[in-house]
């Protein structure tokens, strides 16, 4: 029986399952649980679930933030006994079976960690300070504001070097996010910005994609990689392969091959697990919690991890499953079913087996690459597949309809209608410049 609580969670004789994180894994495990036979508490830093694969469209003015975010409470509004709290878990005590949050403590019988991942800057403090990450809705909104603000500033300056810096956009990371961002920037340059800024020579806007590997989309086949490269280069994106970013001071990107003068460095080059203090260090590998085939963390009884934060090592996946949505969704569903069996006293737990449904990335209108069941597609058909899959996994009917309506309008008009600076953004470099000018 769980009793320790300062989060205004009712005491209960039912086993209490606490889930940390409302991403793909957290949402899907809660959907599987039986609220009549267990007390379920979901904890998240925000009151919404974010559909992260479409964050880049918010950043590039293709979608409004509320079309890819959905209220957690509304997802479970039919569950009268559902308990949700907005807070951050600071520490876990496996011995006492208790978590410590910003708002108080809470005991658990079973704990599920689904905290996902965060941007990995690989220990470079300057890049972390000055670059733009894109893992959350606020970060995507900030990026959208910065892009538009830099173009507005480019109109006002007579300094040619400063204008070039403001109109030079550098994206680091040639995975799906980097490729999709680069394609979105290229479409803005070709179809949107010339109309928005007739008094600015948009032809001088540069989109650079930096990739440390010798090809793009290393998680996909070489043919898909080559096709994405061809699409981007035809759209005017300059791709720099075998290039490593060493430093960035807010204006100058230093790499092993070439330096870039830019006021916008977008970092999509890697992620790492969002770990929580309290789990033994020996249970962490590759920055993720090592779990067995039932998602239980090594050396921690009744504590589970799913999604990006979980490292389920196997012969096929020696570093754990890929840190994308599908493993999180499948692990959440499977663990939910197993916890129901366990609480019911059944011993027939089913080990997790990942079904790889394929990979995909879109580059622009009518341009995408898709790999499913050993088959490869590109072009218009792949682009339609990409849209269908993303619409299917968006949470909420309204979000699906809003996204679809936006895509239809943009297809026929090339009009990204949310080019708005809702919340003016100041980069760390700008704040430092303002501070230096103060008497």
**Residues classed as catalytic:** 180
- Nearest partner of 175 among 163, 167, 187, 183, judged by Cα: 183
Q: Are 115 and 25 in contact (CB under 8 A)?
A: no
Q: Are 220 and 369 in contact (CB under 8 A)?
A: yes
Q: Are 118 and 135 in contact (CB under 8 A)?
A: yes
Return d(Cα 252, Cα 138) in angstroms, integer: 25
Q: How many CA atoms lie within 13 A of 70 on its CB side?
A: 21
- Nearest partner of 337 among 26, 82, 81, 29, judged by Cα: 29
Residues 6 or more apart whose CB falls under 8 angstroms from that of 183 comprise: 231, 232, 235, 237, 362, 363, 364, 367
The helix (H) or strand (E) run that includes residue 72 is helix 72-75
Helix, strand, coil tally for the chain in percent (to 5): 35, 25, 40
Q: Are 122 and 327 in contact (CB under 8 A)?
A: no
Task: For residue 365, give Cα distances in angstroms to 25, 187, 203, 236, 263.
Answer: 30, 8, 20, 14, 27
Q: Which residue do the tokens 């919690």 mark?
A: 289
Question: If you count DSSP H runs as helices and E runs as strands, how many of each does the chain have, helices first?
Answer: 13, 25
Return d(Cα 204, Cα 208) in angstroms, integer: 12
Extract the tokens encoding 403. Answer: 């996204």
Which letter, b or e, does each residue of 155-177 get, where b requires 16 or more Cβ atoms within 10 Å of its Cβ? eeeeeeebbbbbbbbbbbbbbbb
- Residue 240, helix vs strand vs coil: strand
């Amino acid at each position: 029986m769980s009793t320790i609580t300062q989060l205004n969670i009712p005491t209960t004789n039912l086993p209490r399952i606490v889930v940390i994180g409302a991403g793909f894994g957290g949402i899907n495990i809660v959907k599987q649980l039986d609220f009549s036979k267990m007390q379920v508490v979901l904890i998240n830093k925000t009151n919404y679930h974010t559909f992260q694969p479409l964050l880049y469209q918010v950043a590039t003015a293709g979608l409004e933030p509320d079309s890819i975010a959905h209220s957690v409470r509304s997802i479970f509004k039919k569950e009268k006994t559902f308990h949700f709290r907005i807070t951050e878990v600071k520490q876990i005590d496996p011995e006492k079976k208790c978590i410590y949050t910003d708002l108080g403590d809470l005991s658990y019988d079973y704990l599920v960690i689904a905290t996902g991942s965060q941007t990995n800057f690989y220990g470079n403090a300057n890049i972390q300070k000055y670059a733009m990450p894109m893992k959350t809705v606020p970060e995507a909104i900030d990026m959208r504001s910065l892009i538009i603000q830099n173009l507005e500033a480019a109109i006002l300056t007579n300094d040619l070097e400063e204008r070039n810096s403001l109109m030079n956009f550098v994206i680091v990371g040639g995975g799906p996010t980097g490729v999709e961002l680069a394609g979105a920037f290229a479409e803005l340059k070709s179809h949107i910005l010339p109309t928005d800024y007739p008094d600015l020579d948009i032809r001088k806007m540069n989109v650079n994609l930096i990739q440390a590997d010798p090809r793009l989309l290393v998680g996909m086949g070489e043919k898909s990689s080559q096709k994405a490269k061809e699409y981007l280069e035809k759209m005017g994106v300059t791709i720099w392969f075998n290039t490593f970013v060493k430093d960035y001071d807010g204006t100058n990107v230093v790499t092993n091959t070439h330096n870039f003068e830019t006021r916008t460095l977008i970092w999509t080059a890697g992620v790492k697990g969002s770990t929580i203090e309290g789990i033994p260090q020996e249970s962490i590998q590759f920055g993720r919690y090592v779990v067995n085939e039932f998602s239980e963390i090594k050396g921690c009884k009744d504590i589970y991890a799913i999604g990006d934060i979980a490292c389920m090592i196997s012969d096929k996946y020696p570093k754990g499953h890929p840190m994308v949505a599908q493993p999180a969704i499948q692990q959440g569903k499977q663990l939910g079913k197993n916890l129901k069996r366990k609480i019911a006293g059944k011993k027939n737990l089913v080990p997790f087996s990942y079904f790889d449904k394929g990979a995909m990335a879109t580059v622009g209108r009518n341009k995408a690459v898709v790999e499913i069941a050993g088959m490869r597609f590109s072009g218009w058909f792949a682009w339609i597949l990409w849209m269908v899959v993303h619409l299917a996994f968006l949470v909420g009917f309204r979000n699906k309809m809003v996204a679809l309506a936006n895509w239809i309008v943009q297809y026929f008009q090339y009009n990204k209608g949310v080019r708005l600076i809702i919340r003016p953004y100041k980069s760390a470099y700008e704040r430092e410049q303002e501070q230096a000018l103060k008497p």
